[in-house]
Amino acid sequence: MDRILSGIKPTGQLTLGNYIGAIKNFAKVQYEGETFLFIADLHALTLPIEPETLNKNSRDIAAYYLAAGLDPKHTSIFLQSDVSEHSELAIILQNYLYMGELSRMTQFKDKSSKMKEEAIGLGLFAYPVLMAADIVLYNANRIPVGEDQVQHVELARDVVKRMNNRYGKILAMPKAEMVKVGARIMSLSDPSKKMSKSDPKGDIYLSDSLEVMRKKIMSAVTDMGKEIKYDPINKPGISNLMTIMSSLSGKSFEEIEKEFVGKGYGDFKRAVADVVVNEMAPFKARYEEIIQSGLVDEVLSEGAKRAKVVAKETLTRVQHAIGLYRK
Ligand code: TYM
């Protein structure tokens, strides 16, 4: 039986990129195996964050998971910090990952290049160590993520190889998997950049009102020419909007191109906005209901209990293999 695992870091407001590349897909694949989904709150500490913001963002992610259709009876939904085995295993794994490979991680390079050296925390550097621990604790073989996280999953594979070569087959081999369309949604204001949690103009936030979402799409940067054509090199803006439309509507790029032959960018953007609003309206309404209901705490506490059982078993197996035990 497959073990599926993924997580989202509660650093900022979730975007349409997170929804398309991750959350919507989690809901789709959850019944294909035993699924563990967490809120990576310890990872959120790798950059400065206010305690109230961290706490609110974490609960929001849990509510968004539920609003997207994740079923807490089947899928264990929990806070990373509620399962202390994540931290314990990370302390062990840090000895099997090396400075050179950690300093080559794209995410570390991106984030640290904007900071003074004195301000770069060790946690930011060691981020992939904790992420490897997250993954291997659940013997997960399938790791659904957006494109930007694949490099981290690759590093988790390396550490599994190292541990298994040295100590026998103690850990399952994880593999990153991405949605076919939408694993890298780009910024609406600069389609050469990924839509991230920190670019208010180029991002669609799940917390934006439907009107604001519509406005942002209508003012998205487009390209030269006037054809609606999927061509990420020459038409990155239109191709990004086509990706959003395709992933939410299920229509292929060819179908979209055919539908908009002879029509302009304005018509096309209006249609993209309709698709986004139609998807987001019920999703946002469910989110509001869930936040009001008090369900989140119950789900997180139940999820942590179930996750802990599996995590403890793996940690004990690793401790035994490496010599950390009493007779
Ligand atoms: P995070 O919180 O940055 O993003 C959560 C998920 O959303 C995907 N994503 C995107 N997909 C498509 N287009 C985009 N523009 C876009 N932006 C983000 C991400 O790839 C991710 O799948 N390190 C992780 C959290 C984490 C984790 C893990 C994931 C911690 N431990 C173990 C998997 C397994 C992160 O910061 O994701």
For the segment 258-272, the average pLDDT, to the nearest whole number, is: 97
| pLDDT > 70: percent of the chain | 100
pLDDT at 3 over 80: yes
Q: How far is CA 307 from CA 1, 9, 30, 106, 245, in A?
A: 17, 18, 15, 30, 35
- pLDDT at res. 172: 98
Is-catalytic flag, 197? yes
Bridge partners of 144, per DSSP, are: 177
Residue 198 has pLDDT above 90, yes or no: no
| pLDDT number for residue 327 | 87
pLDDT surpassing 90 at residue 197: no
Distance CA 85, CA 311 (A): 6
How much is the pLDDT for 259? Answer: 97
Residue with tokens 């020459």: 234
Non-local (6+) Cβ contacts of 77 within 8 A are 37, 38, 62, 65, 66, 70, 299, 300, 303
In the reported structure, the alpha carbon of residue 200 is separated from the centroid of ligand 1 by a whole-number distance in angstroms of: 18
Percent residues over pLDDT 90 in the chain: 95
Residue among 9, 24, 194, 235 flagged as catalytic:
194
Q: What is the mean pLDDT of the chain?
A: 97
- Going by C-alpha positions, the residue among 9, 22, 59 that lies closest to residue 287 is 59
Q: What is the mean pLDDT of residues 112-119?
A: 92
Q: What is the pLDDT of residue 292?
A: 95
Position 301 scores a pLDDT of 98
Binding site membership of 185 for ligand 1 (Cβ less than 6 Å): yes
Is 194 known to be catalytic? yes
pLDDT single digits (tens) 174-183: 999 999 999 9
Smallest CA separation from ligand 1 atom 14, residue:
17
pLDDT of residue 82: 98
- Give distance in angstroms: CA of 145 to centre of ligand 1: 6
How many helices and strands, by DSSP H and E, does the chain display? 15, 5
**Burial profile 219-242: b = 16 or more Cβ within 10 angstroms, e = fewer:** ebbbbeeebbbeeeeebbbbbbbb
C-alpha 240/C-alpha 231 separation (Å) is 9
pLDDT band at 196 (very low <50, low <70, confident <90, very high): confident
Neighbouring CB atoms inside 10 A of 140's CB total 26
Substitution site in 145, 178, 205 for ligand 1 pocket (most atoms within 8 Å of beta carbon):
145
The tens digit of pLDDT for each residue in 70-109 reads 999 999 999 999 999 999 999 999 999 999 999 999 999 9
- CB of 203 sitting under 6 A from ligand 1: no
pLDDT at 285 over 90: yes
Q: Does the annotation mark 114 as catalytic?
A: no
Distance 183 CA to ligand 1 centre (A): 10
User: What integer pLDDT is reported at residue 201 of this predicted model?
Assistant: 81
Q: What is the pTM of this model?
A: 0.97
Best residue among 3, 16, 18, 36 to mutate for probing ligand 1's pocket (most ligand atoms within 8 Å of CB) is 18
The pLDDT assigned to 26 comes to: 98
Amino acid letter for position 100: G
What is the whole-number distance in angstroms between the Cα of residue 196 and the centre of ligand 1?
10
Segment 39-61 mean pLDDT: 97
Q: Are 235 and 229 in contact (CB under 8 A)?
A: yes
- Using pLDDT thresholds of 50, 70 and 90, give the confidence band for residue 199: confident
Reduce the DSSP state of residue 5 to 3 states and report it.
Answer: strand
pLDDT mean over 235-243: 97
